[in-house]
Structure 1
Amino acid sequence: MKIGLRHIRYFLVLAEDLNFRRASEHLHISQPALTRTIQHLEAELQVTLFDRSQNFVRLTDAGRAFREGGQRVLNGVEATIDLTRRVSIGEAGALRVGYTDFAIADALPELLKQFHQRHPGITVRPHHGVTAAQLQQLRDDKLDIGFVTGPVRQPGFRSRVVQTDRPICIVPEGHRLASRASVELADLADEDFVHGPTEAWAHFYDYLFPHCRKAGFQPRIVQEAFNSVGILGLVSCGMGITILTESIYDFATGGLVPLPISDIDDVMVTEAVWASENLRLPTQHFVDFLEQSDSHRLQGAQRLK
């Protein structure tokens, strides 16, 4: 069947005007050319689209059906053309974003909200994952941006710090330390710990375990849960204590007591990480947005001085 967009467009104009002369003027073609196009369309469809007489032109039932479908086709083509153009400049498409528990509990929601306000045509597709899994997905081109526990110093990646967290000890209510205003790491040496699986939480342990070894012990992990919600749930059941971050505790339910750790001075960082080369345009827009956000925060800090 040899029907093109030109046939549909000519038909829709005539269906609106119901007058061959006016329709041909609107289309900037001759009336005979319009007549031949409509006749060809009817021949291809093997239907009559218009009733014609010397006094009137009107749509048949088949013509009305073709008008509805033809308008949808034309609208779809125009939308596709517009989407294609916006994708070509990076103002449409998808951004695949990975995140850890720590990121989603603090900086990430506001960052994504602001990015969407600036680039509403880019659909953000979030995926939860631990740091090691996100880094592999970045290598496999299954993610565009990862929000991971840093620092990340691996070839092929660039990164930017987006949040800092202070570690805190979390104990169940009624625990022997629950009444304390704070603890030192050495106070926790004989405690049972609840944490994530060693391989999955390796980047967090790279931060925590050196501090514990400096205090003279290795945490005795007796229960494991895949994510922070599960860890907090097991702690509230009295299975042990844990060390997480202040931002995570903000989402904790009852039955838990947070304790600052007085002898840990440095913070844990969450970084946005992306491939260092061949960025897709939505990814480049997000990287530019992060850099602008950092600049605005710096300017704000300077004004407060």
Structure 2
Amino acid sequence: MRIDLRHLRAFEAVAEELHFRRAAERLNLAQPALSRTIVQLEDVIGEVLLLRTNRRVELTEAGRVFLAETKAIFVRLDSAVQQARKAAAGHIGQLRIGYTDFAVSGQLPSILDGFHRCYPDISTELIYGSTQQQLDKLKEGAIDFAFVTGPLLEPDLDRTVVQRDRYVAVLPKHHPLAEQPEVELADLAREPFVLGSMSGWSHYRRQLDALCIQAGFLPSVAQEAYNSEGVFGFVAANIGVTVHLQSAGSFNRQGVVLRPLKGVTARVCTEAAWLKAEVAPVQQKFVDFLRAWVPPD
């Protein structure tokens, strides 16, 4: 025979009441059944937990230690019940979130801060990756959400726009165009460009190429970098210019200036994406939060 909660509840009641009749009434049991349960418990443990006489019931030393441990078990059990209920309601758990340079330099920090304030018991694991890498991980189940460069056309994904960025020219500090309040995109046609690598930035670079073609040229790439910090560093080194996103201003890199592109109204969207398949309660909380998020203009 093994010890179960029935034995522990019976022992706790007798140990607290120190009276079998009162304990039986408290548990809504017949007194003989309660006595048999205590005897079974002592037999399994192999120790006497309660000293019984016609006048009184007392705890042995073994009984006092067992009572303390029994109470601790009930505390942990109550905690487990509460945690399970929180998990079922989506108030506790972990999310695995992929992100790009554009997301982390834009709205993602504000989104995560707001979500953590609403749901402090939900932790997040953040995983950097290109748009394509994140889409692959999403389909493999390696991440729960992907913050990627849109627009997405994946039929098995749900998504919502969390960020809309204007294009800006990023110039070395002493570049002649840096003195102008706005820059014509066509004025960059003969400039060497610093761009994110095609392997990691393909979604953005296709959109940038289309924008430049409308202005009559294709960017001449002098240098590629793996992230925005590298792009800005190479521009600061006067290796070339680039066209980046408005949110890039958060990098605050010395040696470069950002200028609006005159007449360019196109935006680059960052989208949060997740699988259309049934989501866990904790994931649904994040979905609801994202759908309520209003991207700033």
Amino acid at match of 2:76: G
| Structure 2 counterpart of 1:162 | 162
* Partner SS, residue 24 of structure 1: helix
| Structure 2 counterpart of 1:243 | 243
Amino acid at match of 1:112: L
What RMSD over aligned residues (CA atoms) do the two structures have, in Å? 2.9
Hey, what's the Cα distance between the residues in 2 that align with 1:17 and 1:179? 86
Deviations 1:62-113 (A, max 9, x none): 3343334333332333333333344344444333322222222332233334
Q: Which moved more, 1:10-19 or 1:158-167?
A: 10-19
Q: Where do 5+ consecutive residues of structure 2 fail to align?
A: none
* Partner SS, residue 199 of structure 1: helix
CA contact 2:194–2:224 (8 Å) conserved in 1: yes
Amino acid at match of 2:286: F
Alignment: residue pair count: 297
Spell out the pairing of 1:115-154 with structure 2 (5 A cutoff): 115-154=115-154
User: TM (normalized to structure 1)?
Assistant: 0.83
| Structure 2 counterpart of 1:50 | 50
Spell out the pairing of 1:87-126 with structure 2 (5 A cutoff): 87-126=87-126
| Structure 2 counterpart of 1:82 | 82
* Partner SS, residue 178 of structure 1: helix
Residue 5 (str. 1) matches residue 16 (str. 2): no
Spell out the pairing of 1:253-272 with structure 2 (5 A cutoff): 253-272=253-272
Hey, what's the Cα distance between the residues in 1 that align with 2:270 and 2:200? 16
Amino acid at match of 1:147: F
* Partner SS, residue 183 of structure 1: coil
CA contact 2:137–2:143 (8 Å) conserved in 1: yes
Hey, what's the Cα distance between the residues in 1 that align with 2:117 and 2:183? 43
| Structure 2 counterpart of 1:278 | 278
Return closer, same or farther for 1:53/1:223 CA change in 2, 3 Å cut-off.
Answer: farther
Return closer, same or farther for 1:210/1:26 CA change in 2, 3 Å cut-off.
Answer: same
Q: Which moved more, 1:165-174 or 1:272-281?
A: 272-281
User: TM (normalized to structure 2)?
Assistant: 0.85
| Structure 2 counterpart of 1:188 | 188
Return closer, same or farther for 1:5/1:188 CA change in 2, 3 Å cut-off.
Answer: same
Hey, what's the Cα distance between the residues in 1 that align with 2:291 and 2:228? 29
Hey, what's the Cα distance between the residues in 2 that align with 1:222 and 1:21? 90
* Partner SS, residue 32 of structure 1: helix
Hey, what's the Cα distance between the residues in 2 that align with 1:192 and 1:63? 83
Q: Where do 5+ consecutive residues of structure 1 fail to align?
A: none
Report deviation, 1:150.
Answer: 0.6
Q: Which moved more, 1:84-93 or 1:37-46?
A: 84-93
CA contact 2:162–2:270 (8 Å) conserved in 1: yes
CA contact 1:157–1:276 (8 Å) conserved in 2: yes
Amino acid at match of 1:102: F
| Structure 1 counterpart of 2:30 | 30
